[in-house]
Structure 1
Amino acid sequence: MRTLDERHAEFLDRVTRGEKVEATDWMPDEYRMALVKFLQMHALSELMGALPEKEWVPRAPTLARKLSLMAKVQDEVGHAQLILRVAEDLAAPLGKGREELVEELFTGECKFHNVFHMPAPTWA
């Protein structure tokens, strides 16, 4: 049986060689937690980014602009779902599911990009 230090060294060697690491592969807990935190923030930023954009749909100057903006909103939400799915796989050994990852936004345990706190007063 390999020691924790040996497993850690083997993992770092794999990453250094550029090998793909799957969510179910062994990795140091700190590494896994950092990945989950990064992906969680990225996914929630995608989701939060869709909120101000959707507010502009009724104000879009043409039907074509409304449709393209709705497609962009749909893309952002889709990106959030995909990224949360990856984060969910990585967080499973930590005992976290998708609901917990999103809930942490409301409890303040997780953040999203601060650009979404800024108002967008005009269409431009």
Structure 2
Amino acid sequence: MKKRIGQLKNFAKKMKQELFVIYLSYKDDRTPWYAKAFAICVVAYAFSPIDLIPDFIPVLGYLDDLILVPLGISLALKLIPPQVIKEKRQIAGELKKVSKRKNWFIGILFIFIWILVAVWVGNMVIAILN
């Protein structure tokens, strides 16, 4: 069971990475207009809170996320020229490394801000009680 969950997590990470590659490819001038149109629809649908089948419907609600999004991603990747995909995968990999460092920095910054707010609120409460 843990192996299956690990496989699903890896698949989800790969799909997220491929979605970013499609987005980057959409901006490239070498990508044909029909591939751009399809790519932006796939990216928009993947990030849209609105689904064809709402998520609150048992089982069917998640089927569109599990079937339509990966199907759209694979079709979009086939429509985009291979050299563009290869180049954008490299760029996406480099951006991923940079974003991990930024995520840590932003996380630490938010923790610091929350600590400052907690100290400020604590000082206000102490001042009111005195």
TM range, normalised to the smaller chain?
0.3 to 0.5
Ranked by relative contact order (alpha carbons within 8 Å, sequence separation 6 or more), the top structure is: 1
Q: Normalized per residue, which structure has more helix?
A: 2
TM-score by length of 2: 0.31
Higher Cα Rg, which structure? 2
